[in-house]
Structure 1
Amino acid sequence: MATSPTRLLLLGAVLIFEPVNAYQVRRELRSWGVDEWAHLNPGSIYSGLGTLARQGHLVQHALSEGGREVAVYTSTTQGRGEFGRLMEEAVTVVDLSAPLAFQTALTLMPLLDRATMRDLVRRRLERVDGWRRRVEEQAPPHGVVPPHVRVLVEHWERSARVERELAQGLLADIEAGRLAFAGEPDDWAPPQDDPGWQMASDRRRYVAALGLDGDEPGERP
């Protein structure tokens, strides 16, 4: 599989909607615009789900639906552990030249509990501060390097300031009880024409067909 953000997106989508079929995962992720900001195409979604199943992070169930076979996915204990590891890495590793992992984590942070996300963002803030200090200490004085190189250094400095402001604002929201995290009530609901409502109906059918407890992830046949 290509990248950690891809793995994170696919695992997160399954965790949100499981049991869920591959087409639904593709449709949902495309509604998030992942083909643009995450550079994730439909083929990568299908192949990525299959890879995660082969690695033991997901279970792929073959169900008959309308005369055709449908691949339905549920998570495993291993997969949920992998999701947690990837989220920790995506939030706490600071690489301002490659922001995709952190952007991906932001789309999936409601899957974590508030205390966990708070601690991860605190760690990120500490590392952003460390990155800023290194940039400031190593920045060449004016006149030592060509002007166009100085522009690059200023870009790094400004990027670090923006990153710090974002982390500070997110941490403030978390500590103030804003946003909704795992195990908390969420007063937001999608519009009535959102395909997620059909996914919820399909999920109930899949839960029954697979003999699962609707409140539990689905490792069982």
Structure 2
Amino acid sequence: MSATRLLVLGVVRMFGRAHGYQVRRELLTWSADKWANVQPGSIYHALKKMAAEELLELVDVEPGEGGPDRTAYRLTDVGEHEYQVLIAKALSDPQLNHPDLSAAISLMTTLPRARVINLLRQRLVHLEAEQRQAKLMAEELKAHMELGTPEHVSELYRLWGGITDASLAWLEGLVARLEAGEYVMADDTGAAGEPPAR
């Protein structure tokens, strides 16, 4: 999955229609260039590629201010479907990397509260299974140490266990905050998470 793809679709969706400079400016305010490595060239490339894939449609070309013309895009129905698939996968699949989850968290308020909680609970189930597996592997390692496995190898299991424990604690906290009504979600009164009508 591509965090850039999800972020670009999400920002165009938020604005209803947007050109590359708007998408870039918005993502820079989120510091996405740092945590998702979203660069200006990748934004313009993603816009053109997704237009070719019919996820976005060209809606307007504005004269640029001292530079090239600005092409405005909006999501197609296919693009909306792709956005929903990408954000659901990024929220629920613990195998995806940090930038993908970060992109999904930055856009989670575009979805209904119950849906986000459900997707995060799916991630929790997977992480709980990983936590159990890490504990079993640590126990197995103790047996292997008696057979000559170097002691320092146990640090790998401590690392993996620590990452899983921290991820679980954060995720349980986020679910609790969402259940308590924190953050304005797409289905909350006055929320701005749904795309504008076409």
Moved over 6 A (4+): none
- The CA deviation at 1:69 is 3.1
Aligned to 1:32: 30
Contact 1:142 1:150 in 2 (8 A): no
Counterparts in 2 of 1:168 and 1:48: CA distance versus 1, 3 Å? same
- 1:180 aligned partner: 184
Q: After alignment, is 126-135 or 66-75 more displaced?
A: 66-75
TM-score by length of 1: 0.78
Describe the SS at the equivalent of 1:177.
coil
> Quick one: structure 1 residues 66 and 4, their matched pair in 2 at CA, closer, same or farther if it must change by over 3 Å?
closer
What does residue 53 of structure 2 align with?
A: 55
1:198 maps to what in 2?
none
Could you tell me how far 1:177 is from its partner in structure 2? 1.5
For residue 120 of structure 2, what is the aligned residue in structure 1?
Answer: 121
Structure 1: state its 5+ residue gaps. 188-213
More divergent stretch after superposition (175-184 vs 49-58) = 175-184
Give the partner amino acid of 1:216.
A
Matched, 1:216 2:163: no
- Give the aligned residue type for 2:142: P
Provide the residue aligned with 2:69 in structure 1. 69
Q: Check whether the contact 2:3–2:99 (CA below 8 A) recurs between aligned residues.
A: yes
Provide the C-alpha distance between the structure 1 equivalents of 2:114 and 2:84, rounded to a whole number of angstroms. Answer: 14
Q: Assess if the C-alpha contact under 8 Å between 2:60 and 2:71 holds in 1.
A: yes
Indicate if the aligned counterparts of 2:134 and 2:161 stay in contact, CA closer than 8 A. yes
Superposed, 1:69-218 pairs within 5 Å as 69-95=69-95, 98-139=97-138, 140-141=141-142, 144=145, 145-185=149-189, 215-217=196-198
* Helix, strand or coil at the partner of 2:13: helix
Which of 15, 18, 41 is the aligned partner of 1:43?
A: 41
Q: Which TM-score applies when normalising by structure 2?
A: 0.87
Give unmatched runs, 5+ long, in structure 2. Answer: none
Separation (CA, whole Å) in 1 of partners of 2:80 and 2:64? 31
How many corresponding residue pairs? 188
Deviations 1:104-156 (A, max 9, x none): 11000011111110110111111110111111112212871323321121011
Give the whole-Å Cα distance in 1 for the aligned partners of 2:33 and 2:178: 29
Instruction: Supply the RMSD in Å over aligned alpha carbons.
Output: 2.1
Partner residue, 1:201: none
Identical columns (%):
32
Determine the C-alpha separation between the residues in 2 that align with 1:147 and 1:186.
57
1:3-41 CA deviation, whole Å, 9 max, x = no partner? 421111111111111211111101111221122111111
Q: Distance in 2 between matches of 1:81 and 1:181?
A: 19
SS in structure 1 at match of 2:142: coil
Q: Please give the per-residue CA displacement for 1:67-104, whole angstroms capped at 9, x wherever unaligned.
A: 863200101111111111111111111138x3221111
Post-superposition CA distance 1:146-188 (Å, at most 9, x none): 233211210110111111111111111111112111032469x
